[in-house]
Structure 1
């Protein structure tokens, strides 16, 4: 439980988004998280009235610090899971869900936390969630894992994989 007497300073910064656009932000910082590749700030964005994460290398601090604030309750999910979901899925046009016929620990060895989320289903299979702006990218990504898989969503990806499978079958001559 957060102590209500705790008061922290808001953090103000200029931020360059993934698409190159720039904005000014005022946040109530919660925690820094390292994904294994980059650092992210998890914070309450006061201008958007929502919890967000920000790549630290895209931030330019704007002194002085903002007014004091009382910390909010952290997200219900683990903060690392929140950042992983946002980075691996949240910003992409397509958010896919697959069942992979391999144990979660085996699949997780090939999936960075910034590329996808792996959840065990049982000792022989797992769910993989990944995002991309390209249906081809998602189809190839999961295919390269080297395990049988089923595509569940989005519907566009299910149809796209059906079409790709037909093309691949047609590209392979059948033995006489």
Structure 2
């Protein structure tokens, strides 16, 4: 790549997609020498971009915030995603910033090519009709997205549905929205296990400047963990099931749905089922493997309600 302008634009695009990039990696990606990379970095600095150089194995060049907002380079997909995100903010899904989002959206849509502008406008009806959801801090969402992208550990404060706020040190893996709720899937260093957190219950995200190697996490497992998190909440009726399975085998069979399971003796596992009604209890019990013996412990009067429900179902089948 011999043209200085083309090299500068390519370098800027590379620096925008990662926090740290070693000079050797940049040189390889651009097909130039490390010395040329250093000259191009200086050219970007002269144009007003603040490019910091961090030493060490995990260091390299990174683009930082400066005194003024410099121009950004966006791909077609990034431009559409930003426009949709701005429209989301403007419709009130995130806390604060609706006026600024509308202003930025107007500027962006003014310069978007016609095909991209049509793609953005196609999402407008669905976003405007979206149901109400919990308010989310845009800063928290941004910090978590950056941590997922860059593989950086963070310290956060999580407020559970009941109880005091809890400090957590985590390795963010995925940030996903379902409806109007956002969920963070991460490796909890204190629990030494995967955890799923509602983003609207997270405050005080602090990057720890420590990189980590991503752990294997298939997309299907992310979906399953979020499905479990969405069903987890305050319940009025509880039951315990003691299954004749070792806890390791129980976890292997049930995956994320084995949440809360504990060892109940040699070769046995106690699995709590929380539900809002006897019907929900019956549904939870239906997931247990039919070939495996188990014992159900349900307090009264829920026990009588569950028994009456199952009796009615059996009578209907016989009839």
TM-score bracket, normalised by the shorter chain, equals 0.5 to 0.7
Shift of 1:32: 1.1
1:80, 1:27 → 2: CA distance? 19
Shift of 1:21: 2.1
2:172, 2:284 → 1: CA distance? 39
- Root-mean-square deviation (CA), in Å? 4.1
Name the residue aligned to 1:44: 187
TM-score (norm 1): 0.52
Name the residue aligned to 1:11: 154
Name the residue aligned to 2:174: 31
Gap regions ≥5 residues in structure 2:
1-57, 59-148, 242-271, 289-294, 312-319
Deviation track 1:87-110 (CA, whole Å, cap 9, x = no partner) reads: 3159875589xxxxxxxxxxxxxx
Report the structure number with the largest CA radius of gyration.
Answer: 2
2:210, 2:284 → 1: CA distance? 50
8 Å CA contact retained: 2:281, 2:306: no
Pairing 1:162–2:307 present: yes
8 Å CA contact retained: 2:168, 2:190: yes
Pairing 1:56–2:199 present: yes
Name the residue aligned to 1:68: 211
TM-score (norm 2): 0.31
1:58, 1:47 → 2: CA distance? 18
1:35, 1:95 → 2: CA distance? 30
- 2:215 partner SS: coil
CA 7–63 in structure 1, closer or farther in 2 if over 3 Å, else same:
closer
Between structures 1 and 2, the one with greater strand share: 1
2:230, 2:187 → 1: CA distance? 17
Name the residue aligned to 1:104: none
Gap regions ≥5 residues in structure 1:
97-130, 144-148, 167-176
Shift of 1:37: 4.5
8 Å CA contact retained: 1:13, 1:24: yes
Instruction: Report which structure shows greater RCO (CA 8 Å, sep ≥6).
Output: 1
Count of aligned pairs = 123
Matches within 5 A, 1:1-176: 8-74=151-217, 77-89=220-232, 93-94=238-239, 133-134=274-275, 137-140=276-279, 152=286, 155-156=296-297, 159=303, 160-163=305-308
Between structures 1 and 2, the one with greater helix share: 2
